[in-house]
Structure 1
Amino acid sequence: MQSRLRVQGHPIQPMLVTFPFGLFVSATVFDLTDVAGGPVFLGEVGYWTGVAALFAAALTVVAGMVDLWDVPGDRTRRTAIAFNLVNAAMAGMFLVACLVRAHSPERGATAAILVTELVALAVGGVGVRLGARLMRQFDSGRADAGSLDAFAASPVDIVRPRP
């Protein structure tokens, strides 16, 4: 299975998934620090980091939907659909947290928002496992990237040093 959206032979969606997930983790760390009594501005930094993550998640969902067109209707398709739904659920939870905070003047985090974000990250962890399974299914039949066979189209020639 080949992805439609590729950069130099590599599918784009697995690269894009790291951005929203990393930003969501960063937003949660900022909010944890804010709730734990850190400087007030960290709550606003956490809010804007969450907003940036939502934009990155939207791009990732679009790339995932484009790739979903070419996935055969078997176990791989079910995994791809589950992967996209889990990532959308994580983004949805963060969207709720951002919408609740949008009306406060300092956009600081509360304990309830922090719990919501932690649950969303747990859901995202399931997405990471599904993404790993999906990549294994996409790469099945190809040479192991860690083996020397991945670099050679024919058997590896051994070059002997001169005596």
Structure 2
Amino acid sequence: MRSRARMAGHAIHPMLIVFPLGLLFTAVCFDGLYFATATTNFAVAGAYTTAAGVLGGVLAAMFGWVDWFSIPGKTRAKRVGLIHGLVNGVALAVFAVSWLLRLDQVTWRPTVLSISFALGGLVLAAIGGWLGGELVERLGVGVDPDAGFDASSSLRGHRRAPAA
């Protein structure tokens, strides 16, 4: 099933998800560094990367929902896609709560509670990411029907097999 939201021949959703995932993982690392060193700059960096990761996740999710609505109904892909979207939506909400919990801190220091939420969000994001991999690699969602080892460039159009 070819993605509806495409740019330069590729689905937009998988191009975008690397940013929020990387930012949110990095935010947890910054928070860990803050706890290890008490360096305020790590706390501030963790807060900014959490906020950027949540905003980037919302943007990526919009393109994911565009693709989900084009999956045929009553299929395993539709069910897995729904769970994938919901799990990742909850992960973003959990990270947003983590970010909100540190706003009352003068230096945006993470608290034990905020880092607990962030770690929970990271676990949920990993589960959601695995489900996304299942959608693409097992169920073929977002994969161009002309994909193959010798397929033409996605920038030059599509090679069609001759009709039998």
TM-score for both structures, normalised by structure 1: 0.84
Paired position in structure 2 for 1:93: 94
| Equivalent-residue separation in structure 1 for 2:145 and 2:5 (angstroms) | 21
1:34-64 Cα distance to aligned partner (Å, 9 max, x none): 1122411210110011011111011011111
1:121-161 Cα distance to aligned partner (Å, 9 max, x none): 111111111111111212396554xx3x445969xxxxxxx
1:15-49 Cα distance to aligned partner (Å, 9 max, x none): 11111110000100000111122411210110011
Give the deviation of 1:68 after TM superposition. Answer: 1.7
| Equivalent-residue separation in structure 1 for 2:70 and 2:93 (angstroms) | 25
Paired position in structure 1 for 2:36: 36
| Equivalent-residue separation in structure 1 for 2:16 and 2:131 (angstroms) | 15
Contact 1:5 1:63 in 2 (8 A): yes
**CA RMSD between the two structures:** 2.1
Aligned length: 152
1:1-163 equivalences under 5 Å are 1-73=1-73, 74-136=75-137, 137=139, 138=141, 139=143, 143-144=147-148, 147=149, 149-150=150-151
Gaps of 5+ in 1: 155-163
Query: What is the SS of the residue equivalent to 1:87?
Result: helix
Query: What is the SS of the residue equivalent to 2:128?
Result: helix
After TM superposition, what 4+ stretches of structure 1 lie above 3 angstroms from structure 2? 139-144, 149-154
Query: What is the SS of the residue equivalent to 2:70?
Result: coil
Share of identical aligned residues, percent?
30
| Equivalent-residue separation in structure 1 for 2:129 and 2:66 (angstroms) | 19
1:53-97 Cα distance to aligned partner (Å, 9 max, x none): 111011011111222221111111111111111111111110001
Gaps of 5+ in 2: 154-158
